């Protein structure tokens, strides 16, 4: 990388794990804003 503000490209995200107080708000963010899909819900 040539400078501090350059970002590397990724080919994807394998998984994300999060512990939160409001599960639905967390799902809304990752699915609605980032466009990820929910694979397994405990």
The string of pLDDT tens digits covering residues 1-42 is 455 778 888 888 777 787 899 989 988 998 999 888 887 766
**What gap in Å lies between CA 24 and CA 27, rounded to an integer?**
5
- What does pTM read for this prediction? 0.52
Share in percent of the chain as helix, strand, coil (round to 5): 25, 0, 75
C-beta separation of 30 from 16 below 8 A: yes
**What gap in Å lies between CA 34 and CA 26, rounded to an integer?**
11
Position 3 scores a pLDDT of 59
Position 5 scores a pLDDT of 74
How many residues comprise the chain? 42
DSSP structural state of residue 19: -
């Amino acid at each position: 990388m040539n400078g501090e503000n350059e970002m590397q490209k990724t080919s994807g995200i394998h998984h994300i794990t999060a512990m939160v107080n409001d599960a639905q708000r967390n799902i809304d963010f990752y699915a609605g804003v980032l466009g990820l899909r929910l694979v397994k819900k405990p």
